[in-house]
């Protein structure tokens, strides 16, 4: 890897990863601000700003923004998460300057036209409605809310129809001014790029982003609890979470190995026992989402309402058993999967630019592949088991369930037994 980093006097960072065999580049602007940086009366404004950035600037209309990139065969998009927002493009190497100009334009000079704002608010309300109609998506919003109640980190990224419609141009501009500051921003590029040329373009186009770093978000507190919603659905959708680890925690790789062994693929314990042996569901998986100051270890399954209690009993047994019987073969398989995923990502400029951007936001530096592989290799059977035991010992789980039937409460109560078992 040929990763280079330059920090400009303003505090804005520029990081590139040159892939000389490519003729294209993936590049973008990452802001260390997302939905958890919203004030109580700003729920959904981060995501709305992401949409509105594309709806016109002093130099370009919304149509011209789209056409300027698509006219050269490129792609332009954005995404909002809990702790960051990204605006990115993929273009041929000859069009890198154009892409940077468009990205700088939409972030430094958006007009927030009232008519465009009204239309986009309606679009997002439709997006919220679509999520409400997708229980396998909605259950994760409910899980986040249950794990982190009454906290910005626990709220849905989209907001509510009421909050989204309440924002005007002045509110959006105030949020942008408060959170889009150079020390909390970076420009990242991977592919057919030359670092010095990217730095020169960024210096020329991103000079308006000044000021001190944005205020830190509210500290997250994992609470746990249960949220059950009766809905007329074909399946019960169940998600459970335990208090995980922050991104800088030394035990993070051990926990990721534990997560993969438990529910990371077709060879995982949950898939084999719950689906293959017992036939209790079609889909089941485990995951871990680390944040800057906390983390969320989760499991999801969709099943028939009559099978839900048995499924949850099996899940609880598998979690507990894994903390004591997880073995070297499973650990080595999980480590191989993790390392293969890292190496396969190196073949894609989109994956590589996303990886280095996330590393810069989380650690303040790009992490060499060798360093990551060494940390994966250092995971042992005992460290993975210990990471699993620590999950259970940190406190009660959060459970969200959507679906038909009157047995959801009893299914959730079975999940609560995990903590009693640890005690």
Burial class (CB in 10 A: 0-12, 13-18, 19+), 212: exposed
Closest CA to 181 of 209, 219, 160, 216: 209
Closest CA to 257 of 291, 297, 293, 292: 297
* CA atoms of 324 and 382, how far apart (whole Å): 9
DSSP state of 83: S
CA atoms within 13 A on the CB side of 268: 27
- Distance from first CA to last CA of the chain, Å, rounded? 47
| Sign, CA torsion 107/187/357/291 | negative
Distance of CA 239 to the CA centre of its chain: 17
Q: Whose structure tokens read 């790009």?
A: 366
List residues with catalytic annotation: 50
């Amino acid at each position: 890897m040929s990763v280079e980093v330059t920090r400009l006097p303003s505090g804005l960072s520029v990081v590139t990863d040159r892939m000389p065999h490519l003729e294209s580049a993936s590049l973008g602007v990452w802001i260390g601000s997302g939905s958890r940086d919203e004030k109580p009366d700003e729920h959904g404004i981060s995501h709305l700003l992401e949409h509105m950035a594309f709806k016109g600037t002093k130099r370009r209309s919304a149509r011209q923004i789209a056409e300027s990139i698509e006219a050269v065969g490129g792609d332009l998009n954005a995404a909002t998460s809990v702790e960051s927002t990204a605006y990115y493009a993929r273009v041929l190497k000859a069009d890198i300057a154009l892409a940077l100009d468009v990205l700088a334009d939409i972030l430094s000079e958006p007009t927030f036209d009232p008519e465009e704002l009204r239309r986009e608010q309606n679009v997002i309300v439709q997006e919220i409605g679509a999520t409400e109609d997708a229980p396998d998506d909605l259950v994760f919003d409910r899980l986040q809310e249950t794990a982190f109640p009454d906290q910005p980190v626990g709220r849905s990224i989209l907001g509510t129809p009421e909050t989204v419609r309440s924002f005007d141009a002045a509110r959006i501009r105030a949020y942008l001014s408060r959170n889009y500051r150079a020390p909390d921003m970076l420009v990242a590029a991977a592919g057919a790029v030359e670092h010095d040329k990217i730095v020169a373009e960024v210096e020329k186009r991103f000079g308006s982003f000044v000021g001190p770093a944005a205020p830190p978000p509210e500290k997250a507190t994992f609470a746990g609890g249960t949220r059950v919603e009766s809905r007329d659905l074909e399946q019960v959708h169940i998600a459970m979470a335990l208090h995980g680890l922050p991104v800088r925690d030394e035990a993070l790789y051990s926990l990721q190995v534990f997560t993969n062994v438990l529910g990371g693929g077709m060879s995982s314990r949950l898939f084999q026992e719950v689906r293959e042996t017992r036939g209790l569901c079609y889909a089941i998986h485990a995951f871990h989402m680390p944040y800057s100051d906390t983390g969320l270890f989760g499991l999801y399954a969709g099943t028939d309402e009559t099978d839900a209690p048995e499924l949850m009993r099996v899940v609880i047994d598998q979690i507990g058993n894994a903390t004591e019987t997880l073995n070297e073969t499973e650990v080595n398989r999980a480590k191989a999967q993790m390392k293969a995923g890292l190496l396969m990502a190196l073949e894609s400029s989109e994956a590589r630019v996303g990886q280095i951007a996330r590393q810069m936001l989380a650690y303040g530096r790009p992490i060499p592949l060798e360093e990551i592989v060494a940390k994966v290799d250092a995971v042992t059977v005992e460290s993975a088991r210990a990471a699993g035991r620590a999950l259970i010992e940190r406190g009660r789980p959060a459970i969200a369930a959507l679906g038909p039937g009157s047995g959801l409460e009893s299914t959730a109560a079975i999940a609560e037994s995990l903590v009693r078992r640890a005690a």
